[in-house]
A = this chain, B = another copy of it.
Amino acid sequence: MAQTYQAQIYVTLRPSVLDPAGTAVQSGLKHMGYENVAQIRIGKYVELTLNADSEEVAREQLDRICDQLLANPVIENYRFDLKEASTSMGMST
């Protein structure tokens, strides 16, 4: 029987790729007086639910979805957490 899984996906720029948005935020924080903040990197955070027969199938499918649509593998890395959704299907956040 298909089970519903909840996924949290984190897409980050590869460390070798410049992050102009992160630099802009860091500069903004400096102007606001936060001198003690460094190494800001901005990525994407995606939440979704999917139905799959097993956790393994869900993970394989998520890998394909990330590679094909959510992340650009040339400049971005991704990782995700997967858990079985409760029956209510409610969003956890």
Could you tell me which residues of chain A, from 13 to 36, have a CB within 8 Å of some CB in chain B? 15, 22, 25, 28-29, 32, 34, 36
Number of interface residues of A (CB under 8 A): 38
Tell me if A's interface is mostly helix, strand, loop or mixed: strand
What are the residues of chain B within 8 A of A48 when measuring CB–CB?
A: 37-41
What are the residues of chain B within 8 A of A28 when measuring CB–CB?
A: 69
Contact A69 B37 (CB under 8 A): no
Residue in B34, B42, B79 whose beta carbon sits within 8 Å of that of A44 in the complex: B42
Query: How far is it, in angstroms, between the C-alpha of A93 and the C-alpha of B49 when the chains are bound?
Result: 24
Residue in B39, B50, B61 whose beta carbon sits within 8 Å of that of A38 in the complex: B50
Contact A49 B39 (CB under 8 A): yes
